A and B are shown apart, each in its own frame.
Chain A
Amino acid sequence: GQSLEQPSEVTAVEGAIVQINCTYQTSGFYGLSWYQQHDGGAPTFLSYNALDGLEETGRFSSFLSRSDSYGYLLLQELQMKDSASYFCAVNNQGGKLIFGQGTELSVKP
């Protein structure tokens, strides 16, 4: 079967660094995506890893280890506006995005 695991909730303070982990089991793996969704909003694409290593996009970075079926999203210099749900999603050969259950990030002042 196909499954993804990520923590359900994470809390951090403004200015801190937070890491959201994601482990997955799937067949026909192309890569791992990350999406952000604010309350009442639409999911928006943040980052993608097809190969092992770190991808950096401003304050956000994403990492993938294909051999460990593991990835993470790293958010630096946290801001209040980063409070949202974060989903990892596997892109597979079936042409589908399979989403994890989501991690609700709360950033406190």
Chain B
Amino acid sequence: DTEVTQTPKHLVMGMTNKKSLKCEQHMGHRAMYWYKQKAKKPPELMFVYSYEKLSINESVPSRFSPECPNSSLLNLHLHALQPEDSALYLCASSQDRGPSSYEQYFGPGTRLTVT
């Protein structure tokens, strides 16, 4: 199974809402990533988890809060977002964080709209 799943596929939320994005993989990968992607732009790294510990936070605003409950699951908690946070949020995984992180498996993404 080389699939990364993400839920929900689409999410519309107001600026005062709290919601969560979920990501799951069963490939035994020990590194998991959150990316944000705007239209016609490359994926932009937000967070990296390695062996369930947060190892990289790319200076992401605190209204985005990641969580890794176990080696297969990754969540992104959203609170008090701004309209400019509307984007495709991609989860990815790789075998680990080191040299083998060149091959990342991406989920289909959650298309988020903040109203």
Residues of A at the B interface (CB closer than 8 Å) are 30-31, 33, 41-45, 48, 50, 87, 89, 91, 94-102, 104
CA gap between A97 and B91 in the complex, in Å: 13
Q: Which residues of B contact A96 (CB under 8 A)?
A: 45, 48, 56, 101
Q: Does B34 have its Cβ within 8 Å of any Cβ on chain A?
A: no
User: Of B11-19, B62-70, B74-82, B103-111, which binds chain A?
Assistant: B103-111
Given contacts A42-B107, A42-B108, contact A99 B42 (CB under 8 A): yes
CA gap between A45 and B2 in the complex, in Å: 12
Q: Which residues of A contact B102 (CB under 8 A)?
A: 30-31, 33, 48, 50, 89, 91, 97
Find the B residue at minimum CB distance from A46: B103
Q: Does B61 have its Cβ within 8 Å of any Cβ on chain A?
A: no
CA gap between A99 and B107 in the complex, in Å: 17
Residue among A31, A48, A99, A100 with the highest chain B CB neighbour number at 10 A: A99
Q: How far is the CB of A39 from chain B (nearest CB, A)?
A: 10
Q: Helix, strand, loop or mixed for chain A's interface?
A: strand
CB-based contact A100/B101 at 8 Å = no
Q: Which residues of A contact B106 (CB under 8 A)?
A: 42-44
CB-based contact A95/B42 at 8 Å = no
Q: Does B71 have its Cβ within 8 Å of any Cβ on chain A?
A: no
Contact for A102 among B31, B41, B50, CB less than 8 A: B41
CB-based contact B104/A97 at 8 Å = yes
CA gap between A63 and B97 in the complex, in Å: 24
CA gap between A102 and B106 in the complex, in Å: 17
CB-based contact B43/A43 at 8 Å = yes
Q: How far is the CB of A57 from chain B (nearest CB, A)?
A: 12
Query: Residues 84-115 of chain B: 1 if any A CB is under 8 Å from the residue's CB, otherwise 0?
Result: 00000010100001110111111111000000
